[in-house]
Amino acid sequence: MMDVRCKRIYDPPDGNDGQRVLVDRLWPRGIARNRAALDLWLREIAPSDALRRWFAHSPDRYAEFAARYRDELTSLPEETALLRRMAAEGRLTLLYAARDTEHNNAHVLADWLNGL
């Protein structure tokens, strides 16, 4: 199993993060690019705009959102392969801006990469 973790981009970076990848389509408000300490911004891996808007961070829609997002991930072989390679090199931290720390695309993506 790979070591893929999730973290809010608003939390300070630390030495245990490994490679840091922002997986949101939109740049997070109030974060300067140098403060983000990113290795990569992979906006293509984020949910489609239509799916993101439909979900609207509603916990009641999370299960359906996760299923739809996993379907979208199957159509992104290059992006998912890149993340798998990065995770194979060591810890990978997927960064997200959502306030909800449990119901967001980064957690779906981490589970998907870990084969859960």
The total of other beta-carbon atoms located within 10 Å of residue 31's CB is 15
Q: How do the domains of the chain map onto residue ranges? A: 4-113
pTM of the entire predicted model:
0.94
pLDDT at 38: 95
What is d(CA 49, CA 1) in angstroms, rounded to the nearest whole number?
30
Q: What is the DSSP letter of 19?
A: E
Average pLDDT of 102-108? 97
Q: Is 27 exposed, middle or buried (CB count within 10 Å of its CB: 0-12, 13-18, 19+)? A: middle
Residue 93 in this model has a pLDDT that exceeds 80 = yes
Residues of the chain with pLDDT > 70, as a percent, come to 98
Q: Encode pLDDT of 22-71 as tens digits.
A: 999 999 999 998 889 999 999 999 999 999 999 999 999 999 999 999 99
